[in-house]
Amino acid sequence: MRLLGYASLPAIPVALYMALVAAPTEAFMGHSQRIMYIHVPAAIASYLSFAIVAAAGALYLWRRRDHLDALAHAAAEVGVLFTTITLLTGSLWGRAAWGWWWTWDPRLTTTLVLWLIYVAYLIMRQAIDDPERRARFSAIFGIVGFLDVPVVHLSVVWWRSIHPPNFAGGGTTLDPAMQQALAVCAAAFLLFNLFLIALRWRVERLERSAARARASGRGAAGD
């Protein structure tokens, strides 16, 4: 984990430099186009986080190790954070590029549905008291929620394609310098994403062992 921290902390300033200074300014949109260097990597990072939620859930159902549930919880929280960043930056971009804050663009809509699914996941975790049952149920919902992602995306793409799009999307070619900046930003975000999950995972495990120690201490005092 320390390695991830050492790797990701300098990566973020480098990525920001690439995005804000080194990458050329876009001809039509000017500086607001630079939102992309945050928006796209954040979206990729959130997909990775939710894949971790599902994988940790499946492993939990198989091996029943408490720390796997802690990992799923950590990844879900970080995933919701990055989805929120994706939605906010997408909205800002939309305002700058198309003139409105929200459009039912397929990817934005998929991200919004994803956000709703994983916010519900976190709320469900809070609503179940028994830790073992919470872990089991969260694993189930984490798997089902992730299964929904490709179906949601496919349906949203079709849904939009019936109405004419509000903007000429797709088929844009990116300047090589921009591609390079985007790749660096994506790599930095993924590292940072993994680092946050690892950090949150450790906090979660410490909290749980502290709670267990408290519970057994209280049990001993009561005896």
Partner 1 sequence: MNRHFWRVVAAVMAREITAELRGRETVTALGAFALVVLVIFGFALNPVAVDLEPVFAGVYWLALAFAALVAVGRSFAREKEAGTLEAVAALPADAGAVYAAKVAVTTLWLALVAALLTPPFFVLLDVEASPPWGAWALTTLAGLAGLVSAGTLLSALAVHARGADLLLPLLLLPLEVPVLMAAVRIGESLLAGEPLSAAGGWFRLLVGYDIVFFVAALVLFDYVAEV
104 near partner 1 (CB under 8 A): no
Contact range with partner 1 by CB under 8 A, out of 89-97, 132-140, 175-183, 207-215:
132-140
143 near partner 1 (CB under 8 A): yes
147 near partner 1 (CB under 8 A): yes
Q: Is 70 helix (H, G, I), strand (E, B) or coil?
A: helix
72 near partner 1 (CB under 8 A): no
Distance CA 88, CA 165 (A): 21
Question: What is the footprint of partner 1 within residues 152-181 (CB under 8 A)?
Answer: 152, 154-156, 158-159, 162
CA-to-CA separations, 7 to 12, 13, 120, 186, 195, in angstroms, rounded? 9, 11, 32, 14, 9
Residue 116: CB minimum distance to partner 1, A? 4
Name which of 115 and 192 has its Cβ closer to partner 1: 115
Dihedral sign, CA of 121, 81, 72, 133? negative
For partner 1, the binding residue among 111, 145, 181, 204 (CB under 8 A) is 145
113 near partner 1 (CB under 8 A): yes
Task: Sort 56 into a burial class: Cβ within 10 Å, 0-12 / 13-18 / 19+.
Answer: buried
Amino acid at 29: M
For partner 1, the binding residue among 67, 95, 107, 136 (CB under 8 A) is 136
Contact range with partner 1 by CB under 8 A, out of 45-53, 97-105, 144-152, 204-212:
144-152
129 near partner 1 (CB under 8 A): yes
Which of 86, 54, 84 lies closest to 71 in space, CA to CA? 54
Q: Is 71 helix (H, G, I), strand (E, B) or coil?
A: helix
Distance CA 87, CA 56 (A): 25
Report the interface residues with partner 1, using CB under 8 A.
Answer: 61, 113, 116-117, 120, 123-124, 127-130, 133, 136-137, 139-141, 143-145, 147-148, 151-152, 154-156, 158-159, 162
